[in-house]
Amino acid sequence: MATAQGVTLESFAHLDEKKILRKMDLRLIPMLALLYLLSFLDRGNIGNAKIEGLQEDLNMEANQYNWCLTVFFFTYAAFEVPSNLLLKKLRPSRWLPFIMVGWGTVMTLMGIVQNYHGLLIARLFLGVAEAGLFPGVAYYLTMWYCRHEIQLRQALFFSAASVAGAFSGLLAFGISKMDGVGGYEGWRWIFILEGIATVIVAVLAFFVLHDFPETATFLTEEERAFVVFRLKYQGQVQNKEQGGAGVAQAEEFKWRYVRDAFSDWQIWVNIFVYWGIVCHLYGISLFLPTIIANLGYKSSTAQLMTVPIYITAAILAVVFAYLSDRVGKRSPFIIGFLCMMIVGFSMCITADPVKHPKVVYGGVFVAACAIYPAFPGVISWLANNLAGSYKRSAGMAIQIGVGNLGGAMASNFYRAKDKPKYVLGHGLELGFICAGIVAALILITGYTTINRKRERKMAEGRSVFTSEELSAMGDRAWPRPANKNNYHRGTVEISGSKKPPSGRHPTRVGFECVPGKLLVFKIFFQAHKVPDVLKVFIYRVKREKKLFKFHKNRIRDAVDDPEKSPFWVI
The answer to whether the CB of 373 falls within 8 A of the CB of 120 is no
Q: Output the pLDDT for position 118.
A: 93
The answer to whether the CB of 398 falls within 8 A of the CB of 262 is yes
Q: Which of 402, 408, 132 is nearest to 274 (CA)?
A: 402
DSSP structure class, residue 161: H
Tens of pLDDT, residue by residue over 95-127, are: 999 999 999 999 999 999 999 999 999 999 999
How many whole angstroms separate alpha carbon 523 and alpha carbon 531? 13
The class (CATH top level) of 9-447 is mainly alpha
Q: Which residues of 252-276 are buried (b: 16+ CB within 10 A; e: fewer)?
A: eeeeebbebbeebebbebbbbbbbb
The rounded average pLDDT for each run of 10 residues, N- to C-terminus, in the chain (570 residues) is: 46 76 90 87 82 87 85 88 83 92 94 92 93 86 81 79 69 78 86 93 92 88 84 54 40 69 87 90 70 67 75 87 80 93 89 82 88 86 74 79 82 77 84 94 88 63 49 45 41 44 45 39 37 34 34 33 34
Q: What is the pTM of this model?
A: 0.64
Q: Output the pLDDT for position 450.
A: 77
Q: Output the pLDDT for position 340.
A: 94
How many whole angstroms separate alpha carbon 297 and alpha carbon 305? 9
Q: What is the widest separation between alpha-carbon atoms in the chain?
A: 91
Residue ranges of the chain assigned to CATH 1.20.1250.20: 9-447
Beta strands at 543-551 and 556-557: parallel, antiparallel or unpaired: unpaired
Tens of pLDDT, residue by residue over 164-219, are: 666 776 777 788 778 778 888 888 998 999 999 999 999 999 998 998 888 888 98
How many whole angstroms separate alpha carbon 141 and alpha carbon 542? 29
How many whole angstroms separate alpha carbon 176 and alpha carbon 437? 40
